[in-house]
Structure 1
Amino acid sequence: MKKNLKALIAVALTTFAFQVHAEDKVRLGFIAALSGPLGVLGAEQQRGLDLALEHLNNRLGNRTVELYTADSRGNPGVAVQEVSKLIDRDDVDIVTGATASNEVVALVKPIAAAGLTLVGSNGGPSPLAGKNCSPAYFSVAFQNDQWSEGMGKYMNEQGIKRAYFIGMDYQAGWDHVGGAERTFEGERLAKVFTPQSQLDFSAELAQIRAAKPDGVFAFYPGGAAIAFVKQYAQSGLDIPLFSNAGLVDTLFLDAFGEDALGVTVTSNYSAKLNNSANKKFVEDFSKKYGRDPSFYAAQQYDAVMLLNQAIAKLPEGKFDREKAQDLIGTTSFDSVRGNFEFNRNHMPIQTVYALKVVKGDDGKLALNLEGVATESAEDPYVAECQMGK
């Protein structure tokens, strides 16, 4: 009888241990524009995700990762439909990714309503930085104005007195152009926005020529960026072009040919940053993909590394979604960007760098690290956010 009882207890304990172990997992949702006009950006985000999970042996905080992927196509309506599947069908514990700022705005409401958290790896729309800041949204990337405020300051340092501002007519375009305009101290000749579908800029370039500025600030992402930069160079305009890494980044350098030479951008990331986390990231990314990583990959890599450290603090057993949200904003991690922290509106406080497109020793285009545009950059909307007060 005693032997049978011991055997039953052993079986029960084994079963219990197996159940606890089985619960020690995290169902990770990843949503990004994996197809459509911004598909190249989402694919780069996924490269950062894949490399991070590879470095972590497919575990986050000692929990096995079950990955569920959704394609937003860069469309806010589609993004909401796809994240609803991640929530209702896949029962994910947490969501990361998101590519375009307008889809980020659309995603936060359903994610928050489900009691989940979005750890965004690209963009930081201004509505979510101020009055509509949310406990359910963290941007590991940047607040949109942040890069461009740094560029406005940099343009001042470069002696630009008369500037022309142009960008794509959507949330990120308004934020980026507004940020550069806000910190630029010279004369603002014009502020022009063009439709998202526009790829022919001949009329706008003629207007720029007629305005005779000392410098031009332009924000366009994806295919529109390539079209604008190429047409700008081929128009013969001998006017310095300024932007941020949304316009010209490592990911697109080959597509520009030599038309991007001399363009200066700001970014929160450079593959040349000298810290141990970035050295490992760049070395392994380059081995895997044959080039330096872009900021899209770097930000998604950082998002996963942050989640790894935050989730490691959770108690064993069933994933505590509410506790995970609390931990994300207060957990430190080794960012590939060096110093990194969240402001109380869940937007980053970080350094913004100036980078210039040059021809490297190998004859290929490269982004040269020119220096720091802004140290410990915040965003202009945090005072409107009521979280943390």
Structure 2
Amino acid sequence: MQQHLARRRALSRAATAALLSLALAATAHAADRVKVGFVSTLSGPSSALGIDIRDGFMLAVKLHGGKLGGLPAEVLVSDDQFKPDVGRQLFERDVKRDKVDFMTGVVFSNIMLAALPEAIDNNVIYISPNAAPSSIAGKDCNPLFFAASWPNDAYHEAAGVFANQRSLKSVYLLAPNYQAGKDSLSGFKRTFKGQVIGEGYTKLGQLDYAAELAEIRAAKPQAVYVFLPGGMGINFIKQFVGAGLGKDMMLLLPGFSADQDVISAVGAPMAGLFNTAHWSPDLDNPANRKFVAEFQKEYGRVPTLYASQGYDTALLIDAAVRDVKGHVEDRQAVRAALKAAHFDSVRGPFKFNNNQYPIQNYYVRTIGSDGKGGLVNKSFSEPILRAHGDAYAQQCPMK
């Protein structure tokens, strides 16, 4: 708790300093290249998420001829090993020794919150391709932090709305015990009108859910809603199905617990499950059609939400560098260019709120046949939430 409060105080102080630093950063000459520090979880049980973000990001760079905004791009890729202290050390190295222009890449909120002050304190903009915690969306928002993904609780707000539409009256909730897990269940409860008859928090990275499944069986809910990304979700779903609970209760998921990597690992039991997301591989817009085709061509697999977010993050940086004509040292101009978001997102309509978190659509997806003997996510309906922001922006003092 003391470490968490210290981080929040540090970020709050840094927000004030960052506004001054933005104004002082500009110099006269455009850069001859763009340096990006990319720190993500690239090893261990949750590595698929970081690998997908990296692959999406690097695909966008490749499709732009190895450039971002017309300048040669140097992307320094590092593995945080799923450890907050390692993430912080890598951020410190990238911003102090390697003098990067942007930082990005982190999957998990606890790692990002530990590492982010290193970027903020050194006047380096961090663009999150995933983690976007509520703790820095409101009064502790920061001009050097952009979320190119989604507010931590938005998927879950959409899931609560969908649960209402399905006339669910009782739900059991489960998530890991860290910031994103807490945000997820808060989001679901914000919109769900039925009764939450049980709520549990697991260890981050937990893979055995025998105790939790016993509690769920005893609670007898109509549905179970879980936020367990990566290997956590894969193991939970396998064990949930293996315990026979799917016969008695609906399993409702956020998109990242029902993404293509999870579908591939779990297989047939995923068919017919519903999940909520801001993106789907079948969204019908030119940017998404190109992304999905190029990703499959490059990597031989269907892209995930994480891959789409990595790709969009690179497109966002590309647009900002282009808009400032290569003057990446002018942090105030770069921030304005990022906030303008002059790029075609694979998710369709996209803009930033005053807190620099996205305003975007959210969809319900269902998992069905890809026509080739496999399973894939498909859009189930029109957006369940349109041009949806977050519950914290009004507390953010930025304009």
Query: Would you say same fold, with TM above 0.5?
Result: yes
Aligned-partner Cα distance in 2 for 1:365–1:271: 12
Residue 323 in 1 paired to residue 333 in 2?
Answer: yes
Q: Give the conservation status (yes or no) of the 8 Å contact 2:31–2:327.
A: yes
Q: Which structure has the greater CA radius of gyration?
A: 1
The match for 1:183 is: 191
Aligned-partner Cα distance in 2 for 1:125–1:210: 32
Among residues 363, 377, 381, which one is paired with 2:388 in the alignment?
377
Please say which of residues 312-321 and 333-342 is displaced more in the overlay.
312-321
Pairwise mapping of residues 201-216 of structure 1 onto structure 2 (< 5 A)? Answer: 201-216=209-224
1:136-178 per-residue CA deviation (whole Å, 9 max, x = no partner) reads 1100000011011000000100110111111111111111111
Among residues 65, 71, 77, which one is paired with 1:69 in the alignment?
77
Call closer, same or farther: CA 1:318–1:189 in 2, change over 3 Å. closer
The match for 2:302 is: 292
Q: Which structure 2 segments of 5+ residues have no match?
A: 1-27
Q: Give the conservation status (yes or no) of the 8 Å contact 2:354–2:393.
A: yes
Secondary structure of the residue aligned to 1:88 is: helix
Aligned-partner Cα distance in 2 for 1:193–1:47: 31
Q: Give the conservation status (yes or no) of the 8 Å contact 1:240–1:262.
A: no
Secondary structure of the residue aligned to 1:144 is: coil
Residue 223 in 1 paired to residue 223 in 2?
Answer: no
Q: Give the conservation status (yes or no) of the 8 Å contact 1:24–1:318.
A: no
Please say which of residues 225-234 and 208-217 is displaced more in the overlay.
208-217
How far did 1:211 drift?
1.4
1:261-302 per-residue CA deviation (whole Å, 9 max, x = no partner) reads 332111111010000011111111111122221111111111
Aligned-partner Cα distance in 2 for 1:38–1:80: 18
Aligned-partner Cα distance in 2 for 1:132–1:261: 41
How far did 1:36 drift?
2.5
Please say which of residues 168-177 and 335-344 is displaced more in the overlay.
168-177
Q: Give the conservation status (yes or no) of the 8 Å contact 1:93–1:321.
A: no
Q: Give the conservation status (yes or no) of the 8 Å contact 2:155–2:276.
A: yes
Pairwise mapping of residues 83-232 of structure 1 onto structure 2 (< 5 A)? Answer: 83-232=91-240
The match for 1:16 is: none
1:235-261 per-residue CA deviation (whole Å, 9 max, x = no partner) reads 111211112122110122110022223
Secondary structure of the residue aligned to 2:107 is: coil
Residue 357 in 1 paired to residue 367 in 2?
Answer: yes
Amino acid in the other structure paired with 2:255: A
Among residues 261, 279, 283, which one is paired with 2:293 in the alignment?
283
Call closer, same or farther: CA 1:66–1:208 in 2, change over 3 Å. same
Q: What TM-score, normalized to structure 2?
A: 0.89
Pairwise mapping of residues 301-320 of structure 1 onto structure 2 (< 5 A)? Answer: 301-315=311-325, 319-320=329-330
> C-alpha root-mean-square deviation of aligned residues, in Å?
1.7
Q: Give the conservation status (yes or no) of the 8 Å contact 2:71–2:326.
A: no
Amino acid in the other structure paired with 1:376: A
Residue 260 in 1 paired to residue 255 in 2?
Answer: no
How far did 1:316 drift?
5.1
Q: Which structure 1 segments of 5+ residues have no match?
A: 1-19
Q: Give the conservation status (yes or no) of the 8 Å contact 1:234–1:259.
A: no
The sequence identity of aligned pairs, in percent, is 36
Secondary structure of the residue aligned to 1:102 is: helix
Secondary structure of the residue aligned to 1:329 is: helix
Amino acid in the other structure paired with 2:373: G
Pairs aligned (count): 369
Aligned-partner Cα distance in 1 for 2:283–2:205: 35
Aligned-partner Cα distance in 2 for 1:115–1:21: 18
Aligned-partner Cα distance in 2 for 1:96–1:316: 19
The match for 1:336 is: 346
Q: Give the conservation status (yes or no) of the 8 Å contact 1:24–1:319.
A: no
Aligned-partner Cα distance in 1 for 2:46–2:142: 26
Call closer, same or farther: CA 1:89–1:308 in 2, change over 3 Å. same
Secondary structure of the residue aligned to 1:87 is: helix
How far did 1:43 drift?
0.8
Call closer, same or farther: CA 1:145–1:317 in 2, change over 3 Å. closer
Q: Give the conservation status (yes or no) of the 8 Å contact 1:28–1:66.
A: yes
Pairwise mapping of residues 243-254 of structure 1 onto structure 2 (< 5 A)? Answer: 243-254=253-264
How far did 1:197 drift?
3.8
Q: Give the conservation status (yes or no) of the 8 Å contact 2:89–2:115.
A: no
